Amino acid sequence: MKIGSLHLKHKLLLAPMAGITDLACRLIMRPFGIGLAFSEMVSANGLVLGGEATKDLLISVPEDRPLGIQLFGENPEILAEACRRIEEHCDVIDINMGCPVKKVVRSGAGSALLKNPARAAGIVAAMRKATSRPLTVKIRAGWDQACINFLEIAHIAEQEGADAVTLHPRTRSQGFSGCADWTLIATLKQQIKIPVIGSGDVFTPRDALRMLEETGCDAVMLGRGCYGNPWLAGQILDLLGGKVPHAPTTQERCEIALLHMDTFLRHNSERKTVLDMRKHLCWYARGLSGAAQFRAAVNKVEQLEELRSVVKQFFRNAEPPAEVS
């Protein structure tokens, strides 16, 4: 799998997910078979106008490669300037044309660009001119059921020099409801020459194989399926290689959950670690006996050392996980 000049070792990508795919999350996921991991979306305006919160989103380390940085914005010149500032720090630059969040859409960015093809074209052209890094565009199916225009936007992206298109085949108005319509990914794959990355509803290794088979997409982007489950990428590779997917033991879950916490702590305060890790720890416990009590306990803990011992105690006593589907 190649995106522009970048060769990927695996055709499994970690999705950009705001509030989730920070540095620690990416570092935890990578060794299991992620070929390219994306940052959370980063505001081009914030980056160029110098917000500290924006800079925090760009924190990375040499092991965090290949890295895609996703930008959002509505102004071609500012997005181009953002490309120039980040290109040394990443391997791929992505432009967000799918975010459904009101504040983002109101500013004309994210999925609002699906309703403004001329602006979308201007943005891809300006970013293409600004950087020689592989450039990708992430889109949804369209704004709503009455405006399904992913093909138009993907053609524009290709014409203006993008190296790949990622499609999450839901409309903006759908949010995350219903099912991702993978037939749209198959249609897109037949219509453009640059690689197509499929995104949406891959929760099991079989889902990933089905997406590859049914759509012909070049790569699969993993999103919510990785919540508390970095093993998913490895399980998909197992299945692709004709092996039985590895099901993590409770001890492995515990080790990775603690490693995730320690990795997060390396770049954050104890307080932020406790607060941010709560959701991840609850996800690591999903499907195990006693997970509900564990969730309640984790959400009350205020101190890092206490959190560590709650985690250790839970996984020591938890029943083995269910089979991988």
312 is in an annotated binding site: no
Q: How far apart are CA 164 and CA 133, in angstroms?
A: 12
* Contact present, 224 and 14 (Cβ < 8 Å): no
- 3-state secondary structure (DSSP) of residue 146: coil
On whether the CB atoms of residues 76 and 125 are closer than 8 A, the answer is yes
Among 225, 245, 248, 321, binds ligand FMN (CB under 6 A): 225
**If binding means CB under 6 A, how many residues of this protein chain bind ligand FMN?**
21
The least distance separating ligand FMN from the CB of residue 7, rounded to whole angstroms, comes to 23
Query: Within 10 A of 169 (CB to CB), how many other CB atoms are there?
Result: 26
Q: Is 11 in the site for ligand FMN (CB under 6 A)?
A: no
248 annotated binding-site participant: no
Tokens representing 206?
């079989």
Tell me the pairing of strands 6-7 and 2-3.
antiparallel
Give CA–CA dist 117/122, Å, rounded: 9
Stretch that binds ligand FMN, among 48-56, 125-133, 222-230, 253-261 (CB under 6 A): 222-230
Residue with tokens 């794959």: 189
Establish whether 138 is an annotated binding residue. Answer: yes
Which residue of the chain is nearest ligand FMN when measured via CB? 223
Compute the distance between CA of residue 151 and CA of residue 191 in angstroms, rounded to an integer.
8
User: Interface with ligand FMN by CB under 6 A: which range of 218-226, 236-244, 294-302, 310-318?
Assistant: 218-226
Half-sphere exposure (CA, 13 Å, Cβ side) for 270? 8
> Residue 264 belongs to what H/E stretch?
helix 250-265
Q: Looking at the annotation, which residues are catalytic?
A: 99
For 22, the token pair is 């920070």
Piece of 122-130, 221-229, 253-261, 287-295 that binds ligand FMN (CB under 6 A): 221-229
The helix (run of H) or strand (run of E) holding residue 183 is: helix 182-191
Degrees, nearest 5: CA angle 120-123-128: 125
Considering the complex, state which of residue 136 and residue 263 has its C-beta at the smaller distance from ligand FMN.
136
DSSP state of 230: T
Provide the minimum distance between the beta carbon of 293 and ligand FMN in the complex, in angstroms, as a whole number.
25
Nearer to ligand FMN, 232 or 288 (CB): 232
Residue 1 assigned to a binding site: no
What binding mask, one character per residue, do residues 242-281 give for ligand FMN by CB under 6 A, x or -?
Answer: ----------------------------------------
What x/- string results for residues 29 through 68 when contact with ligand FMN is judged by CB under 6 A? -----------xx---------------------------
Site track 173-212 with ligand FMN (rule: CB under 6 A), x = hit: --------------------------xxxx----------
Interhelix angle 250-265/270-285, nearest 10 degrees: 160
Q: Any known ligand binding at 260?
A: no
Query: Coil, strand, or helix at residue 181?
Result: coil
User: Does 117 belong to an annotated binding site?
Assistant: no
* Short-list 131, 125, 192, 118, CA closest to 160: 125
The phi, psi pair for 286, rounded to 5°, reads -55, 135
52, amino acid identity: E
**Residue 168 Cβ, how far from ligand FMN at the closest point, in Å?**
4
- With binding defined as CB under 6 A, does residue 18 bind ligand FMN? yes
Instruction: Draw the binding track, 68-97, toward ligand FMN (x: CB under 6 A; -: no contact).
Output: --x-------------------------x-
Annotated binding residues, written as ranges, equal 16-18, 70, 138, 168, 223-224
Positions in the binding site for ligand FMN (CB under 6 A): 15-20, 40-41, 70, 96, 98-99, 138, 168, 199-202, 223-225
Annotated binding residues for FMN, written as ranges, equal 16-18, 70, 138, 168, 223-224
